[in-house]
Chains A and B, each alone.
Chain A
Amino acid sequence: MEVNPPKQEHLLALKVMRLTKPTLFTNIPVTCEEKDLPGDLFNQLMRDDPSTVNGAEVLMLGEMLTLPQNFGNIFLGETFSSYISVHNDSNQVVKDILVKADLQTSSQRLNLSASNAAVAELKPDCCIDDVIHHEVKEIGTHILVCAVSYTTQAGEKMYFRKFFKFQVLKPLDVKTKFYNAETDEVFLEAQIQNMTTSPMFMEKVSLEPSIMYNVTELNSVSQAGECVSTFGSRAYLQPMDTRQYLYCLKPKNEFAEKAGIIKGVTVIGKLDIVWKTNLGERGRLQTSQLQRMAPGYGDVRLSLEAIPDTVNLEEPFHITCKITNCSSERTMDLVLEMCNTNSIHWCGISGRQLGKLHPSSSLCLALTLLSSVQGLQSISGLRLTDTFLKRTYEYDDIAQVCVVSSAIKVES
């Protein structure tokens, strides 16, 4: 890690050690039975070994902490902790020691030292210690610059610097996918992949919505009163493992009308991810604002306000549609036609006029239909004709409904 060795003999020595969390020492258990040649010897040796677990010597994972032996990897969002030690290697008292630690990235230079005051004097074989912490917020090359200035006993002012270069890597790969529901709801699937080299425990993955939306996270269920994660016993991510998180976004009431006619790019919110690795080493990341391309609705939009999700076979049921005039200037005169499919049979009058619909306004329409086929059926067959432009808009597969045999009681 050290880049520039000192050119001249200095009285003080600067040493830096990255403080990742310690690891637990593992043993190699070798046992035998009483009747074997060594008798109790192997077990006795394990009992005498201070690094085995008292009473459970065969357990490989001991309790002894071992200091990190190398720099390791560092990832964006983690905290870089380092021990900085300035030691008086000489046999004279050194005065006015100032230790500064800066972190240089491609974009900025940060001061990390806890104290900026000079130490009056340092006796031989003594040291000045400091532990610095810094939450890494950029990827790429970082340089820790440690500068030491001091005055010798003779009054000579000395100064030296040491540079320690390290790379900050990307810890997670986040991919997002949006699903537009039949209602105004938007579902966000966030796929997160562990790009580090150690197992990762996802402590929190939450979506902070933009002002337009309310969010419901769909990653835990309530079981016996307790909140249980949908990921079950697999509580952690191995390196390169992926996990999908699901969120449901509903536009707030004051924006609900607008959501229907919003075009183009909207800002949904951002993901806030907190994870832990070895012995609680913490990392935190926030994505940038996630954007969604609103689906184009054209001039007229048909959405569903109410629909049951399970219905009985061949029994009529009701749905409520909302028809929105998405244009900004034109008042529309719409005619509704209902076409039957193999499975969907509409009840009521087809071809009726819906009345005048002003721009950016909507009307609700109750419709009745029934299904003659069991299973998951897609509701199709609505046609809206703009009488002025003589343009017909077709609405197929606007929603799904589950049709069950009437032998099964459907809770309404």
Chain B
Amino acid sequence: MVKSPSFGGASEASARTPPQVVQPSPSLSTFFGDTAASHSLASDFFDSFTTSAFISVSNPGAGSPAPASPPPLAVPGTEGRPQPVAMRGPQAAAPPASPEPFAHIQAVFAGSDDPFATALSMSEMDRRNDAWLPGEATRGVLRAVATQQRGAVFVDKENLTMPGLRFDNIQGDAVKDLMLRFLGEKAAAKRQVLNADSVEQSFVGLKQLISCRNWRAAVDLCGRLLTAHGQGYGKSGLPTSHTTDSLQLWFVRLALLVKLGLFQNAEMEFEPFGNLDQPDLYYEYYPHVYPGRRGSMVPFSMRILHAELQQYLGNPQESLDRLHKVKTVCSKILANLEQGLAEDGGISSVTQEGRQASVRLWRSRLGRVMYSMANCLLLMKDYVLAVEAYHSVIKYYPEQEPQLLSGIGRISLQIGDIKTAEKYFQDVEKVTQKLDGLQGKIMVLMNSAFLHLGQNNFAEAHRFFTEILRMDPTNAVANNNAAVCLLYLGKLKDSLRQLEAMVQQDPRHYLHESVLFNLTTMYELESSRSMQKKQALLEAVAGKEGDSFNAQCLKLA
């Protein structure tokens, strides 16, 4: 069993790891008890991989295993034989009244003490998905791990990934707060959203929270599951280990933080992952847990997220640098595949079909990186390079050619180059002529509308947007844009009527922050009684939107 030196023993651990005072988060402590000795807890977890002894986070002293929990639900993507670890549910005074009282917190961890079965189950799909080219230092460590039979491999603590939640409980609901302030307690009490307590404490519950747009609750649930894995609040900097699932949980948590616009929080929690190339993020680092398995545990999408996050923090150059590194690896892997080698340059043992599937996967990944780079350049306002980059993206996603060309046309409009925009829109027309169905025609009409906007012709633009609505009455963009044109034509009341009708018609889709921004701006222009109308919007939002709703667009604060 490979142990990092910090696991060597309690005394050694204390020499390397300054004893951390664990501050259990106030809210989670009702579910998971005091963790007095942090080191022992971590090593207990690590041991659980191979010994499958019962471990209770809430009660380290507990001995007897809990009754056999139902097998964790298989989630596509998890491999190996998951090791169910049952945990006692909350017994301390927990607020009741959750629709489904849960008895188990299920953590699905990969791990097995049967190396042969695991080797056999390692599928080709995993191999091509997880392929990555580690840096030189990491390669050295992994080689050392592979050749060691016994004893510890020395790995500097700096090269290990020791993440932990950096804040807990962002289970806040901005909408509810606004309701309390403006509509009173009774109204606020009526707001019901799913939170982390109301769903199954598993991947299934997590997906439920994500799909109904209660992302704050989902972030919290990820936090709980990660805490069960030993990477909870205050565990940052403490020795730990990683599995496919724990990394997926981190990815989901960080992705949702980005979706919520909580970029600083995401950056804090990304920090222990370094540049996603540390040796303990590779399957080879855990030969007893994942015997025979190779590659990186880090989901590819996490690498994209890690790069893109920087541009939202105001460091777009850093984003580009990171994306370039990802692009380099993807290109190298594709080059290896095209030469008939395996992804990592070794001898290939796959069928022609398998190799083609791998090429397809890595080409699409390369395309995704190019897309990110183009977006980043756009954010940096380097329009010349951004347009070039979007042209490259068309090569990887030819089915998106009309949308990308339209996008480049809109970029030209944004810098004031109307003639070039016109040229691009004409190209879109040529490309869409071969398509059937409404989508192509709508794109052409949309572009014509934008062109007229660029020529200051709001009346014509309105006509085109309305034409789109005739073909597709549910087209939110055309609806919103037609209403905007009405305002510029001096028809405030008509514009308001159109937007309000849109919001009432299909609140689930149209209570979107950009539409609401427009609506509240117009309320403020219309009359001094805008506050009441905005509060009415708040009520509408309260009934439909999850906790991820960006309440700033209501302009109530």
Task: Check if A and B associate.
Answer: yes
Q: Is the CB of A41 within 8 A of B414?
A: no
A67 and B518 in contact, given A32-B251, A56-B403, A59-B403 (Cβ under 8 angstroms): yes
The interface residues of chain A lying within 8 Å CB-to-CB of B125 are 35
Asked whether B211 is an interface residue with its Cβ less than 8 Å from the other chain, the reply is yes
Q: Which of B147-155, B230-238, B416-424 lines the interface with chain A?
A: B416-424
Query: How many angstroms between the C-alpha atoms of A203 and B455 in the bound complex?
Result: 13
Residues of A within 8 A of B299 (CB): 32-33, 36
Minimum CB–CB distance from B229 to chain A (whole Å) comes to: 14
Question: Interface code A214-247, partner B: CB below 8 Å = 1, 0 otherwise?
Answer: 0000000000000000000111101000000000
Contact A277/B255 with A17-B525, A32-B301, A55-B439 known, Cβ cut-off 8 Å: no
B2 at interface, CB cutoff 8 A: no
Give B401's nearest chain A residue, CB to CB.
Answer: A56
- Which of B18-26, B480-488, B536-544 is the contact stretch? B480-488
The answer to whether B417 and A64 touch across the interface, beta carbons within 8 angstroms, is no
Q: List 15 A-B contacts (CB under 8 A).
A: A33-B129, A34-B76, A35-B125, A38-B207, A41-B207, A54-B403, A63-B410, A63-B477, A67-B517, A199-B416, A200-B415, A201-B417, A238-B381, A279-B454, A282-B456
- CB of A30 within 8 A of chain B? yes
Interface string of B393-425 (1 = CB under 8 A from A): 000010110011011001101111110100000
**Which of A104-112, A127-135, A138-146, A402-410 interfaces with chain B?**
A127-135
Residues of the B chain whose Cβ atoms lie less than 8 Å from the Cβ of A61: 378, 407, 410-411
Q: Is A22 an interface residue (CB 8 A)?
A: yes
Instruction: Add 15 more A-B contacts to A36-B251, A39-B77, A67-B522 (CB < 8 A).
Output: A25-B514, A29-B375, A32-B255, A36-B299, A36-B301, A37-B77, A51-B514, A54-B439, A63-B410, A63-B446, A63-B477, A87-B528, A89-B528, A279-B414, A280-B455
Interface residues on B, range: 35 or more
Which one of B206, B407, B487, B514 lies within 8 Å of A59 (CB-CB)? B407
Q: How far is the CB of B315 from chain A (nearest CB, A)?
A: 15
Q: Could you tell me if A69 and B521 are in contact, using CB atoms closer than 8 angstroms?
A: yes
B residues in contact with A66, CB < 8 Å: 514, 517-518
A89 to B248, CA, bound (A): 56
The CA of A31 and the CA of B364, in the complex, are separated in Å by 13
Segment touching B, from A42-50, A155-163, A288-296 = A42-50
CB B214 to nearest CB in A, in angstroms, measures 12
Q: Is the CB of B492 within 8 A of A36?
A: no
Residues of B within 8 A of A42 (CB): 210, 255
The 6 closest A-B pairs by CB, nearest first: A276-B416, A201-B416, A280-B454, A50-B476, A56-B403, A37-B248
> In the bound complex, what is the Cα–Cα distance between A60 and B404 (angstroms)?
11
A13, A59, A87: the one contacting B404 at CB < 8 Å is A59
- Write the nearest CB–CB distance from A400 to chain B, whole angstroms: 36
Q: Which residues of the other chain, A, contact B383 by a CB distance below 8 angstroms?
A: 199, 236
A13 pairs with B528, CB closer than 8 A: yes
Enumerate chain B interface residues (CB-CB to A < 8 A): 75-77, 125, 129, 203, 206-207, 210-211, 213, 245, 248-249, 251-252, 255, 258-259, 261, 299-301, 304-305, 312, 368, 371, 375, 378-379, 381, 383-384, 397, 399-400, 403-404, 406-407, 410-411, 413-418, 420, 439, 446, 450, 453-456, 476-477, 480-481, 484, 487-493, 509-510, 512, 514-515, 517-518, 521-522, 524-529
- Least Cβ–Cβ distance between B546 and chain A, in angstroms: 11
B492 and A85 within 8 A (CB):
yes
| Contacts A30-B258, A235-B417 given; does A39 touch B76 at CB 8 Å | yes
Contact check, A35 vs B76: say whether CB atoms are below 8 A apart.
yes
Chain B's closest residue to A53 (CB) is B403
A contact residues around B510 at 8 Å (CB): 50
- B391 to nearest A CB, angstroms? 12
Knowing A131-B490, A280-B456, the reply to whether A87 touches B512 (Cβ < 8 A) is no
Judging by beta carbons under 8 Å apart, are A280 and B453 in contact? Answer: yes
